[in-house]
Structure 1
Amino acid sequence: MTEHVVVVGHGPVGHRLIDRIRDGERVRHRRVTVLTDEPHPAYDRVNLSSCFEGTSSTELLLPGPRTREAPWTDLRLSTEVVACDPAAHTVTCADGTKVGYDALVLATGSRPWVPAVPGHDFPGCFTYRTLEDVQAIRRAARPGRAGVVVGGGLLGLEAANALRLLGMVPYVVETAPRLLPAHTDDGAGRLLVHRVRSLGMTVRCGTGVREVTPGADGRVAAVVLSDGTEVEACLVVFTAGIRPRDELAAATGPIRADRGGFLVDERCRTSSDRIWAIGECAAIHGRCYGLVAPGYRMAEAVARQLLGASDACFRGENSVIRLKLPGVDMAAFGDVHAETRDAMEFCWNDHSTGTYSKLVLAGDGRTLIGAILVGASVGALPVLHVLRGHELSASPEELLRSVMPGAAPVP
């Protein structure tokens, strides 16, 4: 294993990397320095919304007194890294401290993207990414008042449900023609809107935000949509997307991909010697993965390399997208939009039970490459995900009927 590893970032992916290094041999003879600008050790961002259901911030901390207290690990909180010098093999912190490394792993993650609409920075406007965001939204919440969530993706719907749990009236605005546009089609989107509205949330798809207007106190008072509709609201949460934190890709640092992120190969190696990038800040052959599961696989691959397995690499994305709201179950994986050449789509819609299912097969008509499930059909997820990439032994109709009796083909 490399003598001194420096990790920039201590989110879930950086934490996974350190744990896997710890699991390796001869760790007690090596050093790992972790530099993070957050004031907290790694915590479970995926379940951040559980804070609105009684989970404490302490309970969200990822397991590891062993990581934070291990003699071979130096965890420095509230320490921002502002520069990287690959030639000198050092990073520079905001306070001027330089830290040398034998290997550097960038796990800086991403930051929320906030559209530059007028008023986006008024008091009462928030993002939904960190424990601090959750605490700020809780303090600003006013039961009975409306709160606008800008963005109808997974995070947006979680934020809307958080407002609902705080006693507010959520209003979800999505520029795409349906909710979760990256993971649904029109059929699934229509059912999803119906289910979400049944929770007392207002949903507006196909429109954006023109501006946020203030009240006499200078705080958010209303949101004007692109079609001119004005929504009175005391709080706005932006969940319109994320951008990789790749500021260290300066003139002397790793190369940045065309669409952002540190450009890396399948081994997560950057253009600079001895520097890797993992998680949402890594653009593998130009593609960033905005999910934690691929980040974990990147972390495990890099840990193996640092422990001596030079051929370890990231094997690709195989994640399941899962939405869990009260009474609203939705899951998807693979090529849900049938973008693969000659892909075939099979859809089932049971209006009586509010169930929608879609299987996407390769051009051979037998190999499963994607699926969308809404409602009771989500129960078929474990079976279908295992079958991804494999040739089916039964027809799509027979397969769905076997795992979800009563599924009715779309006429």
Structure 2
Amino acid sequence: MTATLVVIGHGMIGHRLVDTLRELDRDRQWRVVVLGEEREPAYDRVRLSTYLGGRSREELSLVTTEFLVDPRIEVHSGTPAVHVDRQARTVRTADGNLFPYDALVLATGSRPFVPPVAGRELGKCFVQRTLEDTEALRAAVRPGRPAVVVGGGLLGLEAAQGLQLLGMRPHLVEAAPHLMPTQLDAAAAHVLQHRARHLGLRLHCGTTVTTVNPGSHGTVRSVTLSDGTALDTDLVVFAVGIRPRDDLPIAPALRLGDRGGYLTDAFCRTSDDRIWAVGECAAVLGRCYGLVAPGYRMAQSVARQLTGRPSEPLDTMGTSTELKLLGVHVATFGSTSNEGGSAVEMTFQEGVSRYAKVFLHRDTGALLGGMLAGETGSRADLAARVGRPPAADLERVLFPDPSL
């Protein structure tokens, strides 16, 4: 007998779950209904900045023709869910349709956080979360004119670089003393900041936007920073973070994490044993993850559970990252802090071109993790040694000879 799985949300994680289920469900136990809020089926949200720079929707799409014509899969794009009745086991959509389910997965993702500054509702104030957001931002670009990006993390840096590539002159405002404060320490960030300034980005760290000031026609004219600086600007992009989307009306309500998100156990199961949550909306053991890799692990786990396969508990999920920003290689692996004082820190630096910090266990000397910035060695090679003693030639591994 075929059971019905309803997946609310057709983003990267929801799509990965359904695609994995298609592969694992060899006995065709499941019929899957996917309810997507956006008009576009799943696309690579991580690469939205490339869409700002001119890539097409087709290039970002994650959905194959094979997926769309699979008779087991029913995709409803532009069809937001508006209510879940746990007792009747139904999902109601905005167009009034009811979808019964035997199992339900919440993959509602997150929404951009916009700080409560005066003037944030003015015209030409943007977030960059969807294709439509990005199209509206691209339409507002005026080459040669100033722009302000609020947030010096990954999203903010990508937005600033995208605007610069389109000919604007962006300012980047970050409340912390340096860029990417969640991933990098001050010395690692210095490598990135040197490159950013060399490329012409104007950085304002250790300050915040206090007001967005109006010009004519209800659009932004300038911003005022907490240090008193006034910056003229044609537009503002808020890229300061995300919040889990956990406000879908569900009756009776599901338990939420202390910091938001649908609270789940280590197998992504909510307080209702027929409902799972995955991705940015899930608070796994109370913690939300804003990265794709942990979301993909959640999707894999739930797909395995739904097809009767064993699944490892997700009680530990790495938050390692590796990316290239402004032409600078930035990576983290394993533990990147010395909580509890159980680690010894070792730092290596060559001017403003490369920097590395590694953490070794104080008693055993085992490699615990680290961070890299600039022309450094492979994160994968270093990550493979976590839990074991580092290579004897650690400095050469961290800073390989570029001529070789």
State the Cα distance separating 1:69 from its structure 2 match.
Answer: 1.6
State the SS of the aligned residue for 2:45.
coil
Structure 1 counterpart of 2:74: 74
Query: Which segment drifts farther, 153-162 or 312-321?
Result: 312-321
Structure 1 counterpart of 2:354: 355
Structure 2 counterpart of 1:391: 388
Structure 1 counterpart of 2:379: 381
Structure 2 counterpart of 1:136: 136
Amino acid paired to 1:236: V
For 1:279-358, what aligned pairs fall within 5 Å after superposition?
Answer: 279-309=279-309, 311-314=311-314, 316-351=316-351, 354-358=353-357
| Native 8 Å contact 1:249 1:255 kept in 2 | no
| Native 8 Å contact 1:344 1:365 kept in 2 | no
Shift in alpha-carbon separation, 1:133–1:58, aligned structure 2, 3 A = same
**What is the count of residue pairs matched by the alignment?**
402
How many percent of aligned residue pairs carry the same amino acid?
49
For 1:130-209, what aligned pairs fall within 5 Å after superposition?
Answer: 130-209=130-209
Q: Hey, what's the Cα distance between the residues in 2 that align with 1:75 and 1:402?
A: 48
Amino acid paired to 1:383: D
State the SS of the aligned residue for 2:248.
coil
For 1:114-125, what aligned pairs fall within 5 Å after superposition?
Answer: 114-125=114-125
Structure 2 counterpart of 1:222: 222
| TM-score, length-scaled by structure 1 | 0.93
Structure 1 counterpart of 2:15: 15
1:369 aligns with 2:356: no
| Native 8 Å contact 1:246 1:261 kept in 2 | yes
State the Cα distance separating 1:248 from its structure 2 match.
Answer: 2.6
Q: Hey, what's the Cα distance between the residues in 2 that align with 1:331 and 1:188?
A: 10
Shift in alpha-carbon separation, 1:83–1:119, aligned structure 2, 3 A = same
Query: Which segment drifts farther, 321-330 or 175-184?
Result: 321-330
Shift in alpha-carbon separation, 1:52–1:14, aligned structure 2, 3 A = same
Shift in alpha-carbon separation, 1:403–1:212, aligned structure 2, 3 A = closer
State the Cα distance separating 1:28 from its structure 2 match.
Answer: 4.0
Q: Hey, what's the Cα distance between the residues in 2 that align with 1:301 and 1:200?
A: 44
| Native 8 Å contact 2:86 2:250 kept in 1 | no
Shift in alpha-carbon separation, 1:177–1:403, aligned structure 2, 3 A = closer
For 1:93-108, what aligned pairs fall within 5 Å after superposition?
Answer: 93-108=93-108
Amino acid paired to 1:368: L
Q: Hey, what's the Cα distance between the residues in 1 that align with 2:167 and 2:211?
A: 25
Structure 1 counterpart of 2:244: 244
| Native 8 Å contact 1:249 1:256 kept in 2 | no
Q: Hey, what's the Cα distance between the residues in 1 that align with 2:326 and 2:181?
A: 20
Q: Hey, what's the Cα distance between the residues in 2 that align with 1:191 and 1:310?
A: 44
State the SS of the aligned residue for 1:387.
coil
| Deviation readout 1:11-53 (Å, 9 max, x if unpaired) | 1101110111100233545310000111000001111112244
Shift in alpha-carbon separation, 1:273–1:249, aligned structure 2, 3 A = farther
State the Cα distance separating 1:329 from its structure 2 match.
Answer: 1.9
Q: Hey, what's the Cα distance between the residues in 2 that align with 1:385 and 1:202?
A: 34
Structure 1 counterpart of 2:395: 400
| Native 8 Å contact 2:334 2:383 kept in 1 | no
Query: Which segment drifts farther, 23-32 or 215-224?
Result: 23-32
Query: Which segment drifts farther, 288-297 or 252-261?
Result: 252-261
State the Cα distance separating 1:156 from its structure 2 match.
Answer: 0.5
Q: Hey, what's the Cα distance between the residues in 2 that align with 1:261 and 1:5?
A: 21
Q: Hey, what's the Cα distance between the residues in 2 that align with 1:25 and 1:321?
A: 31
Amino acid paired to 2:367: L
| Deviation readout 1:319-345 (Å, 9 max, x if unpaired) | 432332343221113322322541221
Q: Hey, what's the Cα distance between the residues in 1 that align with 2:2 and 2:333?
A: 37
Amino acid paired to 2:44: D
Query: Which segment drifts farther, 90-99 or 9-18?
Result: 90-99
Q: Tell me, which stretches of 5 or more residues in structure 1 are unaligned? A: none
State the SS of the aligned residue for 2:256.
coil
Shift in alpha-carbon separation, 1:189–1:403, aligned structure 2, 3 A = closer
State the SS of the aligned residue for 2:160.
helix
Shift in alpha-carbon separation, 1:391–1:146, aligned structure 2, 3 A = same
Give the superposed CA RMSD: 1.9
| Deviation readout 1:170-190 (Å, 9 max, x if unpaired) | 110000111000101111122
Q: Hey, what's the Cα distance between the residues in 2 that align with 1:405 and 1:80?
A: 51
| Deviation readout 1:351-388 (Å, 9 max, x if unpaired) | 1x6211111123335222221111101x3312112222
Amino acid paired to 1:187: A
Amino acid paired to 2:74: D
State the Cα distance separating 1:393 from its structure 2 match.
Answer: 4.8
Query: Which segment drifts farther, 317-326 or 27-36?
Result: 317-326
Query: Which segment drifts farther, 145-154 or 48-57?
Result: 48-57
Q: Hey, what's the Cα distance between the residues in 1 that align with 2:45 and 2:77?
A: 17
| TM-score, length-scaled by structure 2 | 0.95
Shift in alpha-carbon separation, 1:366–1:119, aligned structure 2, 3 A = same
